[in-house]
Amino acid sequence: MFTPEGFVFRALLVAVLYGISCVLGFAEYTAFLSGTSPGGNISWETAALLGLIHLLLHVGFILFVPISLITGGLLAVWGRWKFRRDQSNSN
């Protein structure tokens, strides 16, 4: 769970979900933030839900993905350094 691969996997998962949200046009439904109604034949509850999903994925993409990638990289470097140090100490 807290491995470098785990952090990178979760970052990629959020990035892919955000990309899908953008491609599907969920960004249009974030209009609920300004109090305006979305266009089309969709109820305001559904539009607000889609907008909230996109908003949370957007915030996750902006905040979580870079932090997770940096953490995964630092853990990978630290693990490699620790392995080499342990190997040199055992000899």
Domain count for the chain: 1
Contact 69, 11 (CB under 8 A): yes
Q: Is residue 1 pLDDT above 90, yes or no?
A: no
pTM of this structure: 0.82
Residue 77: the pLDDT is 95
> Where is pLDDT greater, at 66 or 27?
66
Amino acid letter for position 51? G
Which uninterrupted H or E stretch holds 64?
A: none
Q: Domain range spanning residue 70?
A: 4-90
Q: Helix crossing, 44-59 with 4-23: angle to 10°? A: 140
Mean pLDDT of 19-28: 93
Which residue's structure tokens are 């609920």? Answer: 32
Q: How far is CA 29 from CA 22, 36, 64, 69, in A?
A: 11, 10, 22, 29
For residue range 50-75, list pLDDT tens digits in order: 999 999 999 999 999 999 999 999 99
